[in-house]
Amino acid sequence: MSEPVSITVAHGDGIGPEIMAATLHILEQSGAALKIETIEIGEKVYLAGNSSGIEESSWESLRRTKVFLKAPITTPQGGGFKSLNVTVRKTLGLYANVRPCVSYHPFVQTKHPGMDVVIVRENEEDVYGGIEYRQTDQVTQCLKLISRPGSEKIVRYAFEYARRNNRKKVTCFTKDNIMKITDGLFHKVFDEIATQYPEIENEHWIVDIGAAKLADTPTAFDCVVMPNLYGDVLSDVAAQIAGSVGLAGSANIGEKVAMFEAIHGSAPRRAGQNLANPSGLLLGAVMMLVHINQTEAAERVHNAWLRTMEDGVHTYDIYKEGISKEKVGTKEFAEAVVQRLGQSPQILKSAKYQKVERKAAPEETVTIIRTKAKKELVGVDVFLDWSAGSASELGMAISGLDAGDLKLGTISNRGVKVWPGGHAETFCSDHWRCRFLPQIEGSIIGPEEIVSLLKRLNEAGYDSIKTENLYNFDGERGYSLDQGA
Ligand code: NAD
């Protein structure tokens, strides 16, 4: 037997302790070599006055073992309690959320027999920075951040995952027909990295039609990689349409630490009754065994579990008269899996995992080194909180101001160009973007010109709520144009 690997385990709340006990029992019997450190997280910790739901000492265990098997927890209702999942994910830099969504037809009811899709969701960026502002009486803003290193890490992870798991295709979903710079970067990085994996097919879909296709014909997809928000929504959709939310596990992978869990919550109403299905957490634990390279144990557990599904030994949530054979509780289900360790499924595809060559540094996630682009300041957008009239009145007034070395180019409202020109039908809020460009077209400006412009606007009584500098990078425009411009 190999050297035991230390892992950190949290038993969680609600059904958590029962499904964790069942999972650990199966792992113990499978020959997995594990040394368990237990930590307390969740409701008790929250209610003891720790708003993050996790003690300082628990972070030490996680940093030591670098592997976290986590049961679901209950986030108490009411304000002030931060989501532990988000805290753990961000603190430990768990940039990849991996969720296999598989149907187990004909043993578990599903609308999509044959579905076997893995959603790889970027987990740190996009709108999940939670950087939001109310800027005017009428308008709020959320910042969407997509970085090149963040996109490279997740896209590379998706291709490496596909290669390791013998997957044939990686699909990318974005909305780069609208968000040409942010989603455009994600798509561009996808295209660049895809060329390094010629044996794996690649394709890109706009997320709306891609999502529709995924919900309708999931068998058209294999691995799907996407930015955070689309991944959040579509990983739930994919798990649900596989017919098996209670059966899905997930991995949150970082460069140093990884966390494994079921996708469902703590189902408090089912707690303490020996009813809950431990399969989601168990399949999360299988991903953990693969991650720590105990692939034989991972295969033994996964195949015994598949065989249990085939034999119709089901918990209440998936039990169906005519399909299932025996309705069992949490403990009995675990025992049924233990009895089948060493067996394989007869109809469902059996699980096969490849060992991963461990590299000293996570080479596969290293950012491609390139020279820094030449950045030139070519203008500024000044956003005004203004509600004293129409777009043309604002345009007239501001273009009449002495703006120093800059001149007013356009005004837009919520992205639509309203001056010069514009249409009477366009609804205008109190949030105006005034784009200032150099008096001499194509010249480069300095920050002092922006400061002086803001001063003049302020003196003229305008409420500038924010500015965005307009840059070119290696001569390429680094800002979007107005809609209708
Ligand atoms: P939930 O997933 O806990 O439960 C929804 C329903 O699904 C349950 O009522 C139950 O009927 C069924 N169910 C879920 N898991 C099951 C299982 N293993 N076996 C059998 N049936 C199962 O969602 P919820 O009720 O919205 O949330 C309950 C609590 O869980 C909340 O406090 C929420 O914050 C928390 N939560 C935690 C996590 C996590 O820790 N990762 C994730 C989601 C929700």
Give domain status of residue 484, yes or no. Answer: no
- Ramachandran angles phi, psi of 114, nearest 5°: 90, -5
Give domain status of residue 453, yes or no. Answer: yes
On the 0-12 / 13-18 / 19+ scale of CB atoms within 10 A, 400 is exposed
Structure tokens at 121: 């969701």
Amino acid identity, position 442: G
In tens, the pLDDT along 391-408 reads: 999 999 999 898 888 999
| Of the residues 203, 234, 265, the one at which a domain ends | 234
Q: Is the pLDDT of residue 367 over 80?
A: no
Q: Is the pLDDT of residue 359 over 60?
A: no
- Distances in Å between the Cα of 188 and the Cα atoms of 96, 149, 224, 278 are 19, 12, 16, 40
User: Which of 45, 46, 264, 330 should be mutated for ligand 1, with most atoms under 8 A from CB?
Assistant: 264
The share of the chain scoring above pLDDT 90, in percent, equals: 82
The whole-chain average pLDDT of the chain stands at 93
266 C-alpha to ligand 1 centroid (Å): 4
Which amino acids bring their CB within 6 angstroms of ligand 1? 15, 19, 72-75, 85, 246, 261, 264-270, 276-277, 280, 317
Q: Is the pLDDT of residue 51 over 80?
A: yes
411 and 431 in a single domain? The answer is yes
186 and 268 in a single domain? The answer is no
Give domain status of residue 298, yes or no. Answer: yes
Least confident piece of the model among 303-307, 401-405, 426-430, 437-441: 401-405
230 and 247 in a single domain? The answer is no
What does DSSP assign to residue 390? -
- Which residue's CA is the nearest one to ligand 1's atom 34? 75
pLDDT at position 130, please? Answer: 84
Structure tokens at 318: 């998936």
pLDDT at position 81, please? Answer: 79
Give domain status of residue 370, yes or no. Answer: no
pLDDT at position 1, please? Answer: 60
pLDDT at position 360, please? Answer: 46
261 C-alpha to ligand 1 centroid (Å): 12
pLDDT at position 77, please? Answer: 79
62 and 85 in a single domain? The answer is yes
User: d(Cα 120, Cα 117) in Å, to the nearest integer?
Assistant: 10
Give domain status of residue 205, yes or no. Answer: yes
pLDDT at position 84, please? Answer: 86
Q: 3-class DSSP state for residue 321? A: coil
Strands of 21-110 (E only): list them: 34-39, 67-70, 96-102
Residue 83: domain span: 1-93+243-352
Q: What is the mean pLDDT of residues 151-162?
A: 97
pLDDT at position 200, please? Answer: 98
Number of domains in the chain: 3
User: Which of 244, 266, 318 should be mutated for ligand 1, with most atoms under 8 A from CB?
Assistant: 266
Give domain status of residue 335, yes or no. Answer: yes
Give domain status of residue 367, yes or no. Answer: no
What pTM was computed for the model?
0.91
On the 0-12 / 13-18 / 19+ scale of CB atoms within 10 A, 64 is exposed
399 and 307 in a single domain? The answer is no
User: d(Cα 91, Cα 53) in Å, to the nearest integer?
Assistant: 13
- Which residue's CA is the nearest one to ligand 1's atom 1? 265
pLDDT at position 358, please? Answer: 59
116 and 213 in a single domain? The answer is yes
- Binning the chain into helix, strand and coil, the percentages to the nearest 5 are 35, 25, 40
153 and 186 in a single domain? The answer is yes
253 and 167 in a single domain? The answer is no
User: d(Cα 100, Cα 294) in Å, to the nearest integer?
Assistant: 19
390 and 461 in a single domain? The answer is yes
- Distances in Å between the Cα of 246 and the Cα atoms of 151, 240, 274, 426 are 30, 9, 15, 47
In tens, the pLDDT along 248-263 reads: 999 999 999 999 999 9
For the chain, what is the total number of helices (H) and then of strands (E)?
13, 20
Positive/negative CA dihedral, 210, 215, 216, 219: positive
- Ramachandran angles phi, psi of 101, nearest 5°: -120, 105
265 C-alpha to ligand 1 centroid (Å): 3
156 and 204 in a single domain? The answer is yes
pLDDT at position 215, please? Answer: 96
In tens, the pLDDT along 86-116 reads: 888 888 999 999 999 999 999 998 889 999 9
Give domain status of residue 411, yes or no. Answer: yes
44 and 128 in a single domain? The answer is no
Q: 3-class DSSP state for residue 6? A: strand
| Of the residues 208, 234, 260, the one at which a domain ends | 234
140 and 46 in a single domain? The answer is no
CATH number at residue 391: 3.30.70.1570
Q: What is the mean pLDDT of residues 344-365?
A: 75
| Of the residues 321, 352, 383, the one at which a domain ends | 352
CATH number at residue 250: 3.40.718.10
pLDDT at position 485, please? Answer: 61
